[in-house]
Chain A
Amino acid sequence: MLKRLTNLLTLKRRSREKQPEIGSTPADVVHRENKWRLLHYRPRTEGPAYKTPILLVPSLINRHYVLDLMPGRSFAEWLVGQGHDVYCIDWGTPTGEDRYLTFDDVCETYLGRAVRKVARSSETGKTHLLGYCLGGTLTTIYAAKHQEYLAGHIALAAPINFHDDGLLSRWTRTETFDVDKLVEANGNVPWQLMQGAFHLLRPTMNLSKAVYLVDRAWDDQFLDGFVAKETWANDNVSFPGEAYRRYIDELYIGNKLIAGEFALGGTPVRLEDIENPTLVLAFEHDHIVPADSAAVLVDEISSDDKEVMRLPGGHVGAVVSRKAAEHLWPIIGQWLADRDGRSTPVARAEAAE
């Protein structure tokens, strides 16, 4: 009881004095372009145990370090420890000129280059691709068009069917919501606006978090994780304007991805073209991406090796919590390991074609 009280009273000082070690898994920047960077986590000392690397693709509007939160709570660190060769995209912070950045620029040019770079670095000439949240929508669209570099694809809480019963879907389809005016006035869509919208998804969340904090305040490890998670949650980035316009217009309002009417680089994106091994992960208490909206991907693709898993947990907690380390991460690790030997080795030059 006393420890709980002391910890609560010193929480502010604690977070100021002891900055959380966010995104601290050692990594090298192997490519830079505009604001985004491709990070390569340094493999464990004995070297990677698997032939096929994995590229992690986070959402455009959150910092990449959600997948590398802090030592002991880092998915990237865990994957490295398991012997995987891990890469991650850090989308960086868009500035004024990025209002003209299109969805094609992000998905075809930037993500495409990252995939090719990682695939060429491996002896199989292929890579696994894991997309989280909007990152999963991007990887799904990419996977439907470019399977030549992919050994497997994992869509983690990725929205695919945008006409669901969730609040975000309802809001964007409100007749009075005009995405063009929003982009014209702001250029990049301000993170404050989006964060406000996310808070409204569950307005009582902060109260609930406060009670949970008081309840677990005796646990130093929990407090460190809490501070790290809150640091991440309040460290958002704005959405490049043109990309946002298309994201809302064609995906949220038009639901064109599932209808097969979405196009990338001028050619249609058909989910049934995805033939690579695919794992779809959806979370039952996800308020941002309802489980059904994510799970539907498995019904749309024509891969022989496909699986959908509905797991308990919310959009963020299920990926970075201590429970994630016990449940979710081993599922992903095993899935990757099982498919490592199955990827057909191709010559690097062939992969480059």
Chain B
Amino acid sequence: MIWDLWKKSFYAWENATADYLEEVLKNPLVLGPSGAVLNGMMKLKAKKQEATTKWWSSMGLPTKHDQERALHALNKLESRLLDMEEELWELKQQKNQEQAAAE
């Protein structure tokens, strides 16, 4: 009984708080600075990465981006091969159909 009563008041509080927080999180006065902080962090991260990349490539070693680009190209190649396999399959089916129709 007491538990049920507590639960009811908890859910009422939870709903009201969630609605209030939603309004706060929608407020441009909160969103603007939050976005700016996130941007600052991302800029810093990108700069750090750039420095690491420069140092790495100055030693003549492939950078993380080089490796990622190469691996992505391989994945693209795999997809192109699968596309061609599909096209071949379609042509074969078409040919079989034409043959069956001719017979």
Which of B25, B42, B75 makes the CB contact (< 8 A) with A97?
B75
Asked if A352 lies at the interface with its beta carbon under 8 angstroms from chain B, I say yes
Complexed CA–CA distance, A187 and B68 (Å): 10
Chain B interface, >50% SS class:
helix
How many residues on chain A are close to B (CB under 8 Å)?
Answer: 40
Q: Smallest Cβ distance from A206 to chain B, in angstroms?
A: 11
Asked if A146 lies at the interface with its beta carbon under 8 angstroms from chain B, I say no
Asked if B56 lies at the interface with its beta carbon under 8 angstroms from chain A, I say no
Which of A109, A174, A202, A348 makes the CB contact (< 8 A) with B31?
A174
Which of A100, A175, A186, A203 makes the CB contact (< 8 A) with B21?
A203
Q: Smallest Cβ distance from B101 to chain A, in angstroms?
A: 11
Do B18 and A174 have beta carbons less than 8 Å apart? no
Known A-B contacts A187-B68, A352-B93; the reply to A176 vs B7 at CB < 8 A is no
Which of B3, B28, B86 makes the CB contact (< 8 A) with A116?
B86
Provide the residues of chain B in CB contact with A235, threshold 8 Å.
none
Asked if A207 lies at the interface with its beta carbon under 8 angstroms from chain B, I say yes
Provide the residues of chain B in CB contact with A347, threshold 8 Å.
97
Which of A97, A176, A204, A215 makes the CB contact (< 8 A) with B17?
A204
Do B32 and A113 have beta carbons less than 8 Å apart? no
Complexed CA–CA distance, A347 and B98 (Å): 13
Provide the residues of chain B in CB contact with A181, threshold 8 Å.
39, 42-43, 46
Complexed CA–CA distance, A348 and B75 (Å): 28
A-B contacts, CB under 8 A, total: 111
Do A34 and B78 have beta carbons less than 8 Å apart? yes
Provide the residues of chain A in CB contact with B26, threshold 8 Å.
167, 170
Provide the residues of chain B in CB contact with A353, threshold 8 Å.
90, 94
Asked if B57 lies at the interface with its beta carbon under 8 angstroms from chain A, I say no
Complexed CA–CA distance, A204 and B71 (Å): 42
Provide the residues of chain A in CB contact with B72, threshold 8 Å.
97-101
Asked if B54 lies at the interface with its beta carbon under 8 angstroms from chain A, I say no
Asked if A123 lies at the interface with its beta carbon under 8 angstroms from chain B, I say no
Q: Smallest Cβ distance from B21 to chain A, in angstroms?
A: 5
How many residues on chain B are close to A (CB under 8 Å)?
Answer: 45
Asked if A219 lies at the interface with its beta carbon under 8 angstroms from chain B, I say no
Asked if A184 lies at the interface with its beta carbon under 8 angstroms from chain B, I say yes
Asked if B52 lies at the interface with its beta carbon under 8 angstroms from chain A, I say no
Q: Smallest Cβ distance from B2 to chain A, in angstroms?
A: 12
Do B46 and A207 have beta carbons less than 8 Å apart? no
Complexed CA–CA distance, A337 and B46 (Å): 52
- Binary contact readout A133-171 vs B (1 if CB under 8 angstroms, 0 otherwise): 000000000000000000000000000000000010011
Asked if A30 lies at the interface with its beta carbon under 8 angstroms from chain B, I say no
Which of B49, B68, B96 has its CB near the most chain A CB atoms (within 10 A)? Answer: B68
Asked if B67 lies at the interface with its beta carbon under 8 angstroms from chain A, I say yes
Do A204 and B14 have beta carbons less than 8 Å apart? yes
Complexed CA–CA distance, A204 and B12 (Å): 12
Provide the residues of chain B in CB contact with A34, threshold 8 Å.
75, 78-79
Asked if B22 lies at the interface with its beta carbon under 8 angstroms from chain A, I say yes
Which residue of the partner chain B has the closest CB to A347?
B97
Complexed CA–CA distance, A185 and B14 (Å): 36
Which of B39, B78, B97 makes the CB contact (< 8 A) with A176?
B39
Asked if B10 lies at the interface with its beta carbon under 8 angstroms from chain A, I say yes
Provide the residues of chain B in CB contact with A96, threshold 8 Å.
64, 67-68, 71
Do A208 and B93 have beta carbons less than 8 Å apart? no
Asked if B89 lies at the interface with its beta carbon under 8 angstroms from chain A, I say yes
Which of B18, B32, B46, B82 makes the CB contact (< 8 A) with A184?
B46
Asked if A211 lies at the interface with its beta carbon under 8 angstroms from chain B, I say yes
Asked if A21 lies at the interface with its beta carbon under 8 angstroms from chain B, I say no
Q: Smallest Cβ distance from B27 to chain A, in angstroms?
A: 9
Asked if B51 lies at the interface with its beta carbon under 8 angstroms from chain A, I say no
Complexed CA–CA distance, A178 and B46 (Å): 13
Do B46 and A174 have beta carbons less than 8 Å apart? no
A-B contact pairs, 12 of them (CB 8 A): A97-B68, A97-B71, A97-B75, A99-B68, A174-B31, A176-B38, A181-B43, A182-B38, A184-B46, A204-B17, A347-B97, A352-B89
Which A residues have a C-beta under 8 Å from some C-beta of B? 33-34, 96-101, 105, 109, 113, 116, 167, 170-171, 174-178, 181-182, 184-187, 200, 202-205, 207-208, 211, 215, 347-349, 352-353
